[in-house]
Structures are given as structure tokens and as C-alpha cells.
């Protein structure tokens, strides 16, 4: 018998497609939302998932279209809200990042409440927890990003404003809605579709030597399959409440390069060896960063030369998600980049 119906917003996204796969595997009916026409070729990978023919329906709706969300939510038992613009560089940060993220949260959760949905899981980010790394500090779920703005790390500002609104709506709902937010770090791993996600592009760019030197940057890395498990566990466990950092390990660019080399995954690629670090190296890269587009420049200026650390252990303790080893994630990321043709070997 078919289990309950779950709405997954932005179903074609890198993370959401894994959430859809996991839900179908567990016997749920899934109502996925997309921006295009559901019959388009780019959604064929979703329609081909095991169980999709019987239990996946796709609906077209835009985050800014308030009325469009009401019919989508009717008849659903839970919502997993992942849809949100995900990129550092845009023309107009307010129009292209902050407004859709915030309005989308308002429309999705508003329509969910109207439809009597009592359980919502929202994909937030470590970006809603920290605007910039503070070397020596381990961020936790108690931390909030209080510095990002339309000018400074605007993607981070969008994620923070959207998550804050989600919690405000939950409070207003006075017990009618139970919300969980999943706050992932840099999400890597295999992709269900051919699109190249900006987070996975970090590994592709490293292998292709897009930057001729290793920069003093670090990320809290997590596998997309674990992120999907976290969303589904958060939806299923009645006692799950609040925010969950979803990040396994702090990995610097130099360490990532070392792990790729050690695993034999770098052969034939232009992975850089020279590491620009220390005060002088960071100052030099910050100078070069001035020539980058606004979003990337802001990110580099706030992140270079610092080590990002966050405690993702609550997710394992309370939702039972054990993180995959970063070596496994990197191996599967590279295999997948090759499979989809994203790694044209430079030699």
C-alpha cells in the first residue's frame, strides 16, 4: 500500500532529487515541484527513478507565485522545502537571491499551513549559521549569521533571512506546524541528473586547475546521500525539532587535493601543487580577488586564510545519520563528474 504523500519543492535540484529517490524507495508518494513543464527531457531522470511511474507526480510552480502553491500542497501530509536559488554570483542580489528565497519560504509554508500540513523540513545552510569562518571556533546550531547582507555574501544573507522567516512562521502557527531545518555545509557526491551543481564544481575546478594554485580555503563537507537521509529522517521522526547542522568534516583545499592524489583520482588532471598560504599568500590572493565578480569576491575576502569548523554531531545523535567518509564522497564525486562528462581532461 502507498504510504503518505510528501511534497518536495525544487524536485529536480541536486539535493532534492536524492530526497525524492529516498522517499520513493521507502514507499512514499511524492509530489515534486519544478519550474518547467514536467514532461521536459531534463526531468526524465526523475521520472526514471524506481517507483516514480507509480508514485511520483510533478507540478509546475515558481517560488514567487503565491497562489500557485495552494493546489500543490492540498492532499500532502508533509513538505520538504529545498527550492531556493543556489549560486554566489547574480546580477541583482535582492531580486535574484534574497526575494525568491524569502518569498518562497513564505508561500510554501503558508500554503502548507492552509492545507493542514503539520510537518515541514526546510533546507537551510551553514550559511545561515556563519557569515565567515572564525579560526578556532566550532560553530553549533546555537549560532546565527548576523553579518551577511545584499552586499556581503548575499547568498548567505538569503539563506539566513529565509530560515529566520521559517522559524517566525512556525512560532506564529502556534503548534499547528512542526519545523525542522537541515543546515548542510558544502554538499558533494554523485548527482542523479546531468546538471553540474556549484558545490560539486569545486571538485571539478580543482581537478581542472581552474585556479593555478591551492588557495587557503576550507569547507565543511557532506555527502549528498547523507543530506537526503537527514531530510527524510527529520520528516519521519516525530521527536525531531529545531536546527541540524549537516556536515561531516572540515576539509581544506590542500587536504582535498591530497586526498584526490592519494586515491589516484587526480591522474591526468591539472590539479595544482603550489599552495598559497600564510599572511603573504592570503594577502596576494585577496588582491587578485578584487578582480572577481561581486559574489565570489565577497566570499573570498571573508573566507580566505580561515578554517571553517562546525559541529554536525547532533544529526547523528538525534536523527541517526552516520556520515560517509569524505574519501568515499570524493571518489564518488569524481566518478560521477566523469560519467556526466564534466571533466574534459586537459591533456
Question: Dihedral of the CA atoms 128, 134, 139, 143 (nearest 10)?
Answer: -50
For 143, 223, 248, the CA distances from 140, given in Å and listed in that order, are 6, 19, 13
Nearer to ligand NAP, 181 or 282 (CB): 181
Shortest gap between Cβ of 310 and ligand NAP (angstroms)?
A: 12
| Shortest reach from residue 162's CB to ligand NAP, in Å | 8
Enumerate the active-site residues. Answer: 159
Q: With respect to ligand NAP, which residue has the nearer C-beta, 98 or 276?
A: 98
Assess 14 for contact with ligand NAP (CB under 6 A).
yes
Considering only 7-15, 52-60, 207-215, 259-267, which stretch makes contact with ligand NAP by CB under 6 A?
7-15
* Residue 145 in the binding site for ligand NAP (CB under 6 A): no
Binding test (CB under 6 A) with ligand NAP, winner from 21, 55, 159, 309? 159
85 touches ligand NAP by CB under 6 A: yes
Stretch binding ligand NAP (CB under 6 A), from 51-59, 107-115, 184-192, 209-217? 184-192
Residue from 93, 184, 189, 190 in contact with ligand NAP (CB under 6 A) = 184
Q: Could you say which of 8, 10, 233, 276 contacts ligand NAP (CB under 6 A)?
A: 10
- Span interacting with ligand NAP, options 13-21, 296-304, 305-313, 333-341, rule CB under 6 A: 13-21
Instruction: Select the residue interacting with ligand NAP from 43, 86, 139, 299 (CB under 6 A).
Output: 86
CB of 71 to ligand NAP, least distance (A): 15
12 binds ligand NAP (CB under 6 A): yes
252 sits near ligand NAP (criterion: CB under 6 A)? no
Q: Does 197 participate in binding ligand NAP (rule CB under 6 A)?
A: yes
Q: Which has the closest alpha carbon to 140: 313, 311, 309?
A: 311
Nearer to ligand NAP, 154 or 184 (CB): 184
For residue 181, what are the β-bridge partners? 122, 243
3-state secondary structure the chain: CCCCEEEEECCCCHHHHHHHHHHHHCCCEEEEEECCCCCCHHHHHHHCCCCHHHHEEEEECCCCCCCCHHHHHCCCCEEEECCCCCCCCCCCHHHHHHHHHHHHHHHHHHHHHHCCCCEEEEECCHHHCCCCCCCCCCECCCCCCCCCCCCCCHHHHHHHHHHHHHHHHHHHCCCCCEEEEEEECEEECCCCCCCCCCCCHHHHHHHHCCCCCEECCEEEEEEHHHHHHHHHHHHHCCCCCEEEEECCEEEEHHHHHHHHHHCCCCCCCCCCCCEECHHHHHHHHHHHHCCCCHHHHHHHHHHCCCCCCECCHHHHHHHCCCCCCHHHHHHHHHHHHHHCCCCCCCC
Is residue 329 within the footprint of ligand NAP (CB under 6 A)? no
- Residue with smaller CB distance to ligand NAP, 207 or 224: 224
Q: Which of 22, 23, 73, 82 binds ligand NAP (CB under 6 A)?
A: 82
- Position of minimal CB gap to ligand NAP: 13
CB of 11: closest distance to ligand NAP in angstroms?
7
When asked if residue 15 is in the footprint of ligand NAP (CB under 6 A), the reply is: yes
Q: Please state, in angstroms and rounded to a whole number, the distance separating the CA atoms of residues 343 and 347.
A: 11
Using CB under 6 A as the criterion, which residues of the chain lie in contact with ligand NAP when the complex forms? 10, 12-16, 35, 62-63, 82-86, 100, 123, 125, 159, 184, 186-187, 197, 199
Amino acid at each position: 500500500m502507498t504510504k503518505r504523500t510528501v511534497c518536495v519543492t525544487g524536485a529536480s535540484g541536486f539535493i532534492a532529487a536524492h530526497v525524492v529517490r529516498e522517499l520513493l524507495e521507502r514507499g512514499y508518494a511524492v509530489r515534486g515541484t519544478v519550474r518547467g513543464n514536467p514532461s521536459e527531457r531534463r526531468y526524465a531522470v526523475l521520472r526514471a527513478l524506481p517507483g516514480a511511474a507509480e508514485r511520483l507526480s510533478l507540478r509546475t510552480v515558481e517560488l514567487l507565485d503565491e497562489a500557485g502553491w495552494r493546489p500543490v500542497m492540498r492532499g500532502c501530509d508533509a513538505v520538504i522545502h529545498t527550492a531556493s536559488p543556489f549560486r554566489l554570483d547574480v546580477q541583482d542580489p535582492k531580486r535574484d537571491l534574497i526575494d525568491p528565497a524569502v518569498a518562497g519560504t513564505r508561500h510554501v509554508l503558508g500554503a502548507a499551513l492552509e492545507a493542514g500540513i503539520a510537518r515541514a523540513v526546510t533546507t537551510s545552510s551553514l550559511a545561515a549559521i556563519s557569515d565567515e569562518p572564525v579560526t578556532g571556533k566550532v560553530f553549533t546550531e546555537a549560532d546565527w549569521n548576523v553579518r551577511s547582507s545584499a552586499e556581503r555574501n548575499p547568498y548567505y544573507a538569503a539563506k539566513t533571512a529565509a530560515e529566520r522567516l521559517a522559524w517566525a512562521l512556525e512560532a506564529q502557527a502556534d503548534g499547528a506546524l512542526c519545523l525542522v531545518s537541515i543546515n548542510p555545509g558544502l554538499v558533494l557526491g554523485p548527482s542523479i541528473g546531468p546538471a553540474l551543481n556549484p558545490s560539486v564544481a569545486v571538485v571539478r575546478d580543482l581537478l581542472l586547475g581552474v585556479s593555478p594554485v591551492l588557495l587557503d580555503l576550507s569547507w565543511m563537507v557532506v555527502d549528498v546521500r547523507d543530506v537526503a537521509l537527514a531530510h527524510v529522517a527529520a520528516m519521519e521522526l516525530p521527536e525531531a525539532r529545531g536546527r541540524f547542522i549537516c556536515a561531516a568534516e572540515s576539509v581544506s583545499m590542500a587536504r582535498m587535493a591530497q586526498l584526490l592524489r592519494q586515491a589516484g583520482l587526480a591522474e591526468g588532471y591539472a590539479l595544482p601543487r603550489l599552495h598559497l598560504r600564510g599572511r603573504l599568500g592570503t594577502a596576494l590572493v585577496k588582491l587578485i580577488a578584487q578582480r572577481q565578480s561581486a559574489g565570489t569576491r565577497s566570499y573570498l575576502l571573508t573566507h580566505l586564510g580561515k578554517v571553517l569548523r562546525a559541529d554536525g554531531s547532533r544529526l547523528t545523535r538525534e536523527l541517526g545519520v552516520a556520515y560517509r567518509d569524505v574519501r568515499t564522497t570524493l571518489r564518488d564525486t569524481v566518478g560521477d563528474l566523469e560519467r556526466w562528462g564534466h571533466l574534459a581532461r586537459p591533456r
